[in-house]
Amino acid sequence: MIDFGLSEEQRALQEMAHEFAAKEMRPNAARYDKGHEFPADVMQKAFEVGFISCQIPKEYDGGGLSDLDTVIISEELAWGCAGMYTTIMASSLAFTPIILFGSDEQKKKFLTPFTRKMSLAAFCLTEREAGSDAGSLKTKAVKSGSEYLINGSKCFITNGGVASLYVVFANTDPEKGARGISAFVVPRETPGISIGKEEDKLGHRASNTTEVIFEDVKIPAQNLLGKEGVGFLIAMRTLDHTRAPVGAAGVGVARAAMEYAIEYAKTRVQFGKPIALFQNTCFKISQMAMEINAARHLVWHSAWLIDQGKPCGKESAMAKCFGSDVAMKTTVDCLQIFGGYGYMKDYPIEKLMRDAKLLQIYEGTNEIQRLVISREVIGPIKESK
């Protein structure tokens, strides 16, 4: 039987996340966006209510939330501020490979501290020459006795400058290309780590994005996740889990924009009547309402599949791609409803439009999501001779 209803616990989680977003995130969003400043006070509060460690399993003292629970709260938090949400989500992105592939000992050692005090993690995959083509990354890890020596540089790393722990993808056997990649847990205090350029971004300005440089960084061999050579698979499995939350963030951003546009359209009078009465406005709003609903259903379905242990590569790509495309289109249309006022920083719409853009880029661009979807939908194609 199909059930579209949320359980009582899920409704309570949704309400709690909404209240947090409305009270702690929204009132501070414009200030942190303008100042391009890290929202340490809001993150401390997010830790206290359990959002930072919400996906860490209960046996390691985390919230133990399912993927469906996670997308429900993701929509609300991104509705509050996408930049602050990205800070929380990027930390979960780094926890996920440890949750999925770490040993019991690694989970205890590396995840439990995040449930004790406010701290963040970062997922280090992208490099200057290896973005969409992550399998071609050049960071190296060379084994020497009971240690690995890591050398290389990662770019565009969310939480790069504020994390206490990195999950780093490095090649242990460069001749094998992507099949030589391995994943390592690297504590921030390890000698040889430095923070490079901090990026000045169009949107998500409350989140910290930096280069992270590894120079002769020595880590114990016990910090290898899984075994050598499975790092690329670890990264891809991780992204299967974390793409639906990006789609959910798209739904949250789009919903926020639509709500602002409806409120504005009902009160802005031109030609003697509220602009909400013009058919052009009504049709735009009904289109966005349809697309937001459709995006939410894709997101929830993809998260549900993961929770059921079913394959979800195509569906999580669809959730991420469609959810973020809806965010982009909706925010552009809402800005148009605001007319010239929407273009000004005095109104919240232009920030939502800037924030929507990143959702189409990170965690794999939407072109890459379309490739993932098409490969599965079309299947193998024989090239003609």
- The set of catalytic residues is 363
Residues 355-384 that bind ligand FAD (CB under 6 A): 358, 361-365, 367-368, 371
Query: How many chain residues bind ligand FAD (CB under 6 A)?
Result: 23
In order, the DSSP letters of 113-173 are: HHHHS--EEEEE--BTTBSS-GGG---EEEEETTEEEEEEEEEEEETTTTEEEEEEEEES-
Nearest of 246, 217, 139, 215 to residue 183 by alpha carbon? 139
User: At 320, which helix (H) or strand (E)?
Assistant: helix 313-337
Task: Give the contact letters, 197-236, x = binds to ligand FAD (CB under 6 A), - = no.
Answer: ----x--x----x---------------------------
Among 87, 158, 171, 302, binds ligand FAD (CB under 6 A): 158
CB of 94 vs ligand FAD, minimal distance in Å:
8
The token pair at 377 is: 């939908």
Report the residue number, 79 or 156, with the smaller CB distance to ligand FAD.
156
Report the residue number, 277 or 371, with the smaller CB distance to ligand FAD.
371
User: Applying CB under 6 A, does 157 fall inside the site for ligand FAD?
Assistant: yes
CB of 265 vs ligand FAD, minimal distance in Å:
31
User: Applying CB under 6 A, does 168 fall inside the site for ligand FAD?
Assistant: no
What is d(CA 191, CA 252) in angstroms, rounded to the nearest whole number? Answer: 40
Residues 262-281 that bind ligand FAD (CB under 6 A): none
Closest residue to ligand FAD, based on beta-carbon distance = 131
Nearest of 266, 195, 173, 180 to residue 230 by alpha carbon? 180
Task: State which amino acid sits at residue 212.
Answer: V
What is d(CA 105, CA 108) in angstroms, rounded to the nearest whole number? Answer: 5
The token pair at 186 is: 């690297």
Among 57, 64, 113, 131, binds ligand FAD (CB under 6 A): 131
CB of 365 vs ligand FAD, minimal distance in Å:
3
Asked if residues 65 and 120 have their Cβ atoms less than 8 Å apart, the reply is no
- Inter-CA distances, 68 with 74, 96, 301, Å: 10, 15, 8
Among 7, 44, 132, 286, binds ligand FAD (CB under 6 A): 132
Residues near ligand FAD (CB under 6 A): 90, 122-126, 131-132, 156-158, 201, 204, 209, 358, 361-365, 367-368, 371
